Structure 1
Amino acid sequence: MKKIFCGALLAFCGVWSFGQDVSTSPFSSYGVGDLLFDNNIEQAGMGGISALSTNPYNSSANFSNPAANQALNITSFDFGINTRASQFKDATSTSKKSTTYISNISLAFPIGTKARAGFGFQPYSAIGYEVSTLTQNDQVTYQNSFKGDGGLNSVHVMGSYNITNEFSLGLRANYLFGDLERDQIISTQGLALVTDYNYKSKINGLQFTLGGYYSKRVGTNKRFDAGATYTLGSSLNAKITDMTTTYAVIDMSPGNIDTIQFKKVYGDLKLPQSVTVAAAFRKDLHWMIGAQLDWGDWAAYKMDEDDDSKIDTRFRASVGGYWIPDFNSYKSYFQRVVYRLGGFYEATPLQVGPEGIKKYGVTVGFGFPVGKDRDASMLNLAVELGQQGNTDAGILKENFANVKIGFTLNDIWFRKRVID
């Protein structure tokens, strides 16, 4: 029954989540929007460290670095939901927005003693904003309304192989698809004439990530781990529609619509290469502390020949770890809970203002054991508190809180029982 439940939930949620609203941030107006393809809930509770094996029981799948599934010896189904609440501030006003969406669905399993495989779904990026500004020129007041919607989704598969007991290699293939739409409407106060600039792109294509993982035992019960990934730059197919219309507002509805420009282009969306390196020191079934560096060449991003997006290199530093007081305690349930803590600093690729957009935050997480002791299934919770932007620099500031909740269900599949 658990197998049937996991399979049905995976299929249903994958179809349902394609249409979900994910972003509410004006910062998503640049490039492909807010980048979301990063980690699962347990990794989010540790500052976003994703290139390492972050489960103390090696019982959850890692799709960020497929090679980090070196010790996964049990079938793992992972499901997560994220609620993001944001407060936006500028020099004169404050507003609040929130959204809830499915952040991760995956299934992974061992194949024999050395190979691992899995597949899943996760939002890759999201656009979602609605902003209005008023400008005055020669005693005429213009209202500019900016609106964006859409994003990219990822359906992905991964595989890994243990070259030795200490070293493994992995590969992940993402099929990215989705619609990116941006709209600018210019109206003049006192006049009924409106100009509408609409830009929509339909995207699909493949992206590949290579991973490596090294785990070396130190003494009797400690380990040094190191992981790295390289995501190849890729060109996705882009079907672009660029249309400019004017119309008169009659009884609150558009009328006398006139198409000024209509252009349909088949081109490429160029996604950049990126590199991640991480290292950790841990004591088996007790604690871990690690750090990670991420770099992405987003200056190479381009949608079409007219694209003038203000995007540059992305850099992120993360630290985090976990602690289990006593994994084998029978007296106290909370002695067996996994406690997670972390923090991060990111120089985002958005070049807005004199110094660009910087993001930083702290994270806390918990892994509550559920089900049978032998399968290490968990209910996971992570909270991320952070900030990006700075009103002192004359740009928008966002204070945000991400609350992530989900579960990891584990069981033995594809293995013949010796004794029934």
Structure 2
Amino acid sequence: MVKKIVLAICCFATITLSAQNGTVSPYSFFGIGDLRSISTVENQMMGGLAMYTDSIHLNINNPASLGKIGPTIYAAAVSHRELRLETFSAEQNTSVTNLDYLAIALPLKVQRMGLNFGLKPFSSVGYNLLDERTNSSGNAVTNQFSGDGGINQLFLSAGFRLMPGLHLGATVNYHFGRLENNRQQTTEGVQFGTLDLRESQISGFDFNYALTYEPKISSKHTLFSSVRVRTQTNLTSENTQTIGTFVPLSGNEIEVFDVNLDEVNLRFTEIKIPTTYSFGLGIGEDKHWFVGGEYSLQQFSDYSSPFLEASNTRYEDASAIAFGGYFIPDYSSFDSYLKRVVYRAGLRLDNSGFVVNDKELSNFGITFGMGLPIGADFTNLNLGFELGRRGTTMNNLVRESYFKVSIGLSLNARWFLKRQIN
């Protein structure tokens, strides 16, 4: 009965959440929206570390982990985020719920070679902004900006063991989606307003390579090291633009026409997201504890998105640092369930390289959570929590404070088998 309930929750989440915007951030106005670094709940709660791998948990950002995979694993997660958006003069509370990922890992040869495929979001657009000013004639001018859509990512990974402790993996990612940005302007004393609607159909590929080396440094302890490279993402954008006039009171369009983007070479544009390099190092005792750190850098100053550029933005090189780990009191305990629970915690600091009004956006988060065993076949329910802050109230910007709750399921293939007595 418990299994049927959990499966029903997964199906319901997949159907209802797929139609929702992945963000409500005003910063998704810029470029291709919020770039979302999605990892499994287990990794998220260790500060977002992708370097740690083992044989019973899925790691969708480190394909080298597939060289260690044991059972077939089905994984899915949903998250809910409560946000407080602040400026110097105003404050607003909002929230958003998402389906974070769906993935399956298949061992081709147990703890030697495996495959992984799935779906997760890459970027999200979801904003509604109001800008009120006064023109030279003293009349109020109102600009309303709204947008939705996003880019999804289908991925296929393979990994294998080169030698004991040394694993190599690669991922091919296919990106696809639609972005819509709408601007409406009305002026006091003017009968009609103007509108500008832009749509982009996005598609493209990139690759992710990973190498992990985990030598034993004592009878109990293992050194964990990882190098990951995500190649430059080259996306093709097919763009359309419609401009015209409308009646502010009713919203009815009066006259609209399509802009000939071919004349200005903007019908088809290329979006370039630069290569990211990540390096991780940690130490741990198998099935007991682990602690580690990871550093990532990206030459984001080379970012390019011609059709979606904003006038008050520029790009600098980006970096991120994360620390985290886990602790299991006694994974084999028979008399105490709490001793078998995995306790995780971490923190992270992201310098996005994205500069708005001469201020770079940074994000700081503190994470913690638990992995709750279900049955005796390595199936677990993962609960995660994150407290964080992004942006600033300086230079007419918005500061986002958020609390995120994540629920992830990691289901072993044997969990679906019907037990029989011969």
Q: CA deviation at 1:16?
A: 6.3
Following superposition of structure 1 onto structure 2, how do residues 94-133 of structure 1 map, counting pairs within 5 Å? 94-113=91-110, 114-133=112-131
Please give the secondary structure, in 1, of the residue aligned with 2:216. strand
In the other structure, the counterpart of 2:35 is: 35
Q: Distance in 2 between matches of 1:162 and 1:408?
A: 23
1:287 maps to 289
Equivalent pair of 2:18/2:98 in contact (CA under 8 Å): no
Quick one: distance in 2 between partners of 1:157 and 1:291? Answer: 26
> Judging changes above 3 Å, is the alpha-carbon distance between structure 1 residues 155 and 340 closer, same or farther for their aligned structure 2 residues?
same
Give the one of 372, 384, 387 matched to 1:368.
Answer: 372
Q: Which residue is 1:341 aligned to?
A: 345
Tell me the SS of whatever aligns to 1:43: helix
Distance 1:62 1:290, change over 3 A: same
Aligned ranges 1:12-411 → 2 under 5 Å: 18-53=18-53, 58-113=55-110, 114-138=112-136, 139-249=138-248, 252-259=250-257, 261-263=259-261, 265-304=267-306, 307-308=309-310, 309-371=313-375, 373=376, 375-411=377-413
Question: C-alpha distance in 2, partners of 1:14/1:51?
Answer: 28
Partner in structure 2 of residue 416 of structure 1: none
Q: TM-score, normalised by structure 2?
A: 0.90
CA deviation string 1:217-243 (max 9, x = no partner): 121121001111111113222111122
The AA in structure 2 aligned to 1:331 is D
Contact 1:30–1:311, Cα closer than 8 Å, also in 2:
no
Give 3-state SS (helix, strand or coil) of 1:49's partner: coil
Please state whether the residue corresponding to 2:65 is helix, strand or coil. helix
Q: For the structure 1 residues 11 and 393, does the alpha-carbon distance in structure 2 shift closer, same or farther, using more than 3 Å as the test?
A: same
Note the C-alpha offset of 1:62. 1.2
Name the CA distance, whole Å, in 2 between partners of 1:354 and 1:263.
30
Q: What is the one-letter code of the residue matched to 1:383?
A: F
> What is the letter of the counterpart of residue 186 of structure 2?
S
TM-score, normalised by the number of residues in structure 1: 0.91
Counterparts of 1:351 and 1:164, CA distance in 2: 44
SS in 2 for 1:242: strand
Shift of 1:392: 4.1
Contact 2:32 2:308 in 1 (8 A): no
C-alpha RMSD of matched pairs (Å)? 2.6
Please give the alpha-carbon distance, in whole angstroms, between the structure 2 residues aligned to 1:8 and 1:134: 47
Deviation at 1:20, TM superposition (A): 2.6
The separation in 2 between residues aligned to 1:86 and 1:301, in whole angstroms, is 28
CA 1:67 to 1:399, structure 2 compared with 1: closer, same or farther past 3 Å? same
Question: How far apart in 2 are the matches of 1:72 and 1:306?
Answer: 41
Whether the 8 Å CA contact 1:68–1:227 is kept in 2: the answer is: no
Distance 2:5 2:121 in 1: 22
- 1:137 is aligned with what amino acid? N
* C-alpha distance 159-29 of structure 1, shift in aligned 2 (>3 A): same
Alpha-carbon deviations, 1:283-335, whole Å to 9, x = none?
A: 11111001011222222222236735533322110000000111111121111
Q: Is the 8 A contact 1:243 1:263 kept in 2?
A: no
Cα contact 2:30–2:308 (8 A) shared by 1: no
| Sequence identity (%) | 25
SS in 1 for 2:382: strand
Distance 1:399 1:386 in 2: 6
Q: Report if aligned partners of 1:116, 1:160 keep a CA contact under 8 Å in 2.
A: yes
Contact 2:17 2:97 (8 Å CA) reproduced: no
Paired residues of 1:240 and 1:266 also in contact (CA < 8 A) = yes
Q: Residue 259 of structure 2: SS of its match in structure 1?
A: strand
SS in 2 for 1:310: strand
Measure, in 2, the Cα distance between the counterparts of 1:61 and 1:119: 11
Residue type at the aligned position of 2:163: T
8 Å CA contact retained: 2:290, 2:326: yes
Q: Distance in 1 between matches of 2:347 and 2:58?
A: 22
Structure 2 residues not aligned, in runs of 5+: 416-421
Moved more, 323-332 or 31-40: 31-40
Aligned length: 409
- Deviation of 1:271 after TM superposition, in Å, equals 2.3
For 1:314 and 1:243, the matched residues in 2 are separated by 34
Residues in 2 aligned to 1:351 and 1:367: alpha-carbon distance in whole angstroms: 37
- Quote how far apart the aligned CAs of 1:364 are: 0.6
* 3-state SS in 2 of match to 1:163: strand
On the 8 A contact 1:63/1:172 being kept in 2, the answer is: no
Q: CA deviation at 1:274?
A: 0.9
SS of the counterpart of 2:321?
A: strand
SS at match of 2:330: coil
